[in-house]
Structure 1
Amino acid sequence: MNLTNQRVVIIGGSTGIGLGTAKEAVKQGANVVIAGRSLEKLKQAQSEINSDLLQILQVDNKDEDSLKSFFHQVGQFDHLFTPGAAYVLGPITSDKEVAESCFQNKFWPQYYAAKHALPYIAKEGSIVLMSGAASQRPIPGVASYAACNGAIESLGKALAIELAPIRVNVVSPGTIKTEKDRKEAYEAYEGMALLRRVGDVNEIAHSVIYLMTNTYTTGTTLFTDGGYVLQ
């Protein structure tokens, strides 16, 4: 159960969880394609990983035609991971743009990525979607965000049934430490998680690699959240 000589596509692979997963997949001997909107960030990630096993391609995951062209360019592959997303949080009283941002920038990009990956993904391959722990334990002011993550988890189950034997799973991280300064958010999360700390990018990457390589796991949501949903 490893990724040696397999081909992995990561949309949103130039930073954060996507980049961490790309690094681990390359270590395991996978040929990895990382994609995103910013060519500059992709080149930075390519320099950081520094491996002939890595390829970079641009794609706008909010544009269905761009995704369709992207997968045609990629061709045949084994595993897809879709962590790329940018959105704005807000309460139920937020305006339309804020209310819809999570669905426009996180749900539909993953939905259409799965749709257009289908002609090219191996029948014994896998798709890993990404939600977030707010699906199960929302806090005030994140109504549309919580709903979006719940929708992604339901999408994972539905696709596992529809696309079998291709395996489809969802990874659901809690708050993860990144290069951004989010001291207040980190401290708040530490008080809400059983393990009393935020997560590390590599811990989520480990979960994604597990979902790619365990050939008997499908239709699941893996909560890598330090026990946040149990508090």
Structure 2
Amino acid sequence: MNNERTYAIVGGTSGIGFAVAEMLVGRGDRVLIGGRSAERLSAALSRLGDRASGRLVDTTDRASINAFFAGSPVLAGLFTPAATYSTGPFQDGMHDTSEALFAGKFWGQYWTVFEALPRLRTDAAVVLKSGAASARPIGAPAYAACNSALEGLARGLAIELSPIRVNCLSPGTTDSELWRERPAAQRETAYAQWRQLCLVRRPAHVDEQAQAALFLLDNANMTGSTLYCDGGYTLR
């Protein structure tokens, strides 16, 4: 009996998405990963081995998302951590930190699920990715609103797409490649602030976030929920 499953991870070339891909491949599943950088995609596939395949995808372009899923295997699950956005104060009135933020984070995931739908098994799992600012904003109101919208989207899709399960992972600050590529002073300032704001007094590890995403992909009784993997940030 062939129990092999294939999962799509849009944003699977680095960070949490790549860590989830590693976990899936490590237990014998197959992954289809997508990213915007050909160089990163090639490097990720080299590390993941022959149980992984990948395609370039731009989540701000519906035609690109559609092409990513064209001809893909039937999918047991979908994880959508890909996002490109900027944050900033409401009173600045900047397009990049308001409408463009939604285009990069909310609508990218919205249309990714839409384009994936014909390829999803009836018992498939979808995991969206928001952020703990949804429940505890500190500045950047559009960013908080975008994360809240994604969590609401997960609830709405869970109802409409049932029996497909839809959940949302809401991380706090995570010691990922995203932060490590930023200037050290900026990173350490953010990490120091986070230690004061959360209960575990440290940023999350990428593998901790990946384990949370994998739980939502696997647990057949979880749907319409948001999992806050935030070290207790939303409780302070």
Q: Under TM normalisation by the shorter chain, which class is it? A: over 0.9
Look up the match of 2:50. 52
Look up the match of 1:93. 91
**Farther-moved stretch of structure 1 (62-71 vs 221-230):** 62-71
Task: Decide whether the 8 Å contact of 2:6 with 2:73 is kept in 1.
Answer: no
Give the deviation of 1:37 after TM superposition: 1.2
**Farther-moved stretch of structure 1 (60-69 vs 212-221):** 60-69
Identical aligned residues as a percent: 42
Q: Secondary structure at the match of 2:220?
A: coil
Give the deviation of 1:38 after TM superposition: 0.8
Distance 1:174 1:188 in 2: 12
Distance 2:163 2:87 in 1: 36
CA deviation digits over 1:45-94, x for unaligned, max 9? 12222x21111111111101111121113242110000001111100022
Distance 1:214 1:178 in 2: 25
Alignment-mate amino acid for residue 61 of structure 2: D
Aligned counterpart for 2:168 among listed residues 167, 170, 177: 170
Distance 1:190 1:101 in 2: 30
Q: Secondary structure at the match of 1:17?
A: helix
Distance 2:150 2:156 in 1: 10
Give the deviation of 1:102 after TM superposition: 1.9
Q: Does 1:187 align with 2:192?
A: yes
Alignment-mate amino acid for residue 24 of structure 2: A
Q: Does 1:217 align with 2:222?
A: yes
Aligned length: 226
Distance 1:101 1:226 in 2: 29
TM-score with structure 2 length normalisation? 0.93
Look up the match of 1:197. 202
Distance 1:208 1:32 in 2: 15
Give the deviation of 1:114 after TM superposition: 0.7
Look up the match of 1:7. 6
Alignment-mate amino acid for residue 212 of structure 1: L
Runs of 4+ in structure 1 off by over 4 angstroms are none
Look up the match of 2:109. 110
Q: Secondary structure at the match of 2:224?
A: coil
CA deviation digits over 1:162-204, x for unaligned, max 9? 0000000000000000231411111100110011110000001
Distance 1:48 1:183 in 2: 29
Q: Which runs of 5+ in 1 are unaligned?
A: none
Aligned counterpart for 2:148 among listed residues 122, 147, 150: 150
Alignment-mate amino acid for residue 153 of structure 1: E
Give the deviation of 1:101 after TM superposition: 2.5
Q: Secondary structure at the match of 1:98?
A: coil
Distance 2:71 2:62 in 1: 14
Look up the match of 2:127. 128
**Farther-moved stretch of structure 1 (179-188 vs 145-154):** 179-188
Alignment-mate amino acid for residue 84 of structure 1: A
Q: Secondary structure at the match of 2:85?
A: coil
TM-score with structure 1 length normalisation? 0.95
**Farther-moved stretch of structure 1 (205-214 vs 175-184):** 175-184
Alignment-mate amino acid for residue 64 of structure 1: R
